Amino acid sequence: MRLTKEHIAATYKSIQDEITAGLEALDGRSTFVEEMWEREGGGGGRTRIIQDGNILEKGGVNFSAVHGKLPAAIKKSFQVEEEDFFATGVSIVIHPNNPWVPIIHMNIRYFELGENIRWFGGGIDLTPHYVVEDDARFFHHMMKNVCDKHHANFYPEFKTWADNYFFIKHRQETRGIGGVFYDKLTPEKTGLTDEELFKFSCDLGRTFLPTYTELVNRNRDRKFSSQEREWQLLRRGRYVEFNLVYDAGTRFGLETNGRIESILMSLPAQANWAYDFKPEANSNEEKTMSLLKKDINWIG
C-alpha cells in the first residue's frame, strides 16, 4: 500500500497530541491553548501555545497541513517548475523560565510537489543558555541513537548539517550545540523507501519528549541569579536574530501566506540586546561562548 499524504498528516497530528500531553505533565501547572486556523489558498492547522508555566515560560507545538500553488519565489528557490504543493509537519519551540534549562526546537515535515516530487525534512537542535557538557553529551547520544536505528550515515551527516545550518554568520557563532538537521530526503538520496523515511521522521519526533524531559528534570530546580537571568535574555536575542534572518521555515511560512502568529511562535516572550557585550574572563558565560562552535564531537 502506497504511503499517502493523508496518513502522514494524521500521524503527525498524533505526535503533536503525544508531545503536548507530555509537556503539560512535565510543567505541572500550565496547559496548552489550542487555536484552529485555515490558510487562504488551502489547508490549515492546529496552533498550541503554553505560557507562564512552572518550567515553560513560552512554548508552541504546532501542526499544519497546507496545500495550494507554490509562489514564484519558492519555485525559484527550489529550482522547480511544478507549482501544486502539499506540506505537513509538526514544529516545536520551547523557551523555559530557568536559564539552566535549554531552549529546544524540533521540526518534522513532509512535502509534495506535483505528482513526482516528495521529500522529508526536519531535525532537533538544542540551544542552552549555559552549555552543560554532560547534558550536551546526553542530547547528542539521544540524537545518534535514533539516527543509527535507520541509517549508519544519518547522525554524522545530519550533525554536520545542523552545525552549518544553525550558524549565526554575522556573529560567527552557532545558535547552540546543534543536533541533527536534514532536508529533502528521498529514496534516491538515502537508499531508503518513502515508508522507511517516514518511520525515521516519526521516530525522531517521538524522541523529543523523553530527551527534553530528562534535560528539564536535570536542571529545573537549579537556583539562578539576576545576572544569569540577564544572560538568558541576551542568548534569547541571538535566537531571535537567527530565526528572523536565516530560518528557512520562517521564510517559507511568510512567502506561502502562512498564519503569522503560528510562524512567529518561535520567538520568546522577552529577549534583550546589549551593545558589544563581553563576558567576564573565566565565567560560565565565557565558557558557553567558547563552546558555540561547529564540529565539536559530543559523542566521543
Q: Which helix (H) or strand (E) holds 111?
A: strand 103-113
Q: Which of 95, 105, 129, 150 is catalytic?
A: 105
Listed in sequence order, the DSSP H helices in the chain are 5-27, 72-78, 133-148, 154-165, 187-190, 194-219, 226-245, 248-255, 260-263, 284-290
Reduced to 3 states, what is the DSSP secondary structure of residue 145? helix
Are the C-beta atoms of 245 and 170 separated by less than 8 Å?
Answer: yes
Q: Which residue has the cell 498550541?
A: 48
Residue 150 known to be catalytic: no
- B/e letters for 45-76, b = 16+ CB within 10 Å, e = fewer, are bbbbbbeebebbbbbbbbbbbbbbebbeebbe
Are the C-beta atoms of 95 and 128 separated by less than 8 Å?
Answer: no
Residues 6 or more apart whose Cβ sits within 8 Å of residue 278: none
Q: How far is CA 66 from CA 37, 43, 90, 248, in A?
A: 11, 4, 12, 17
Residues with catalytic roles: 105
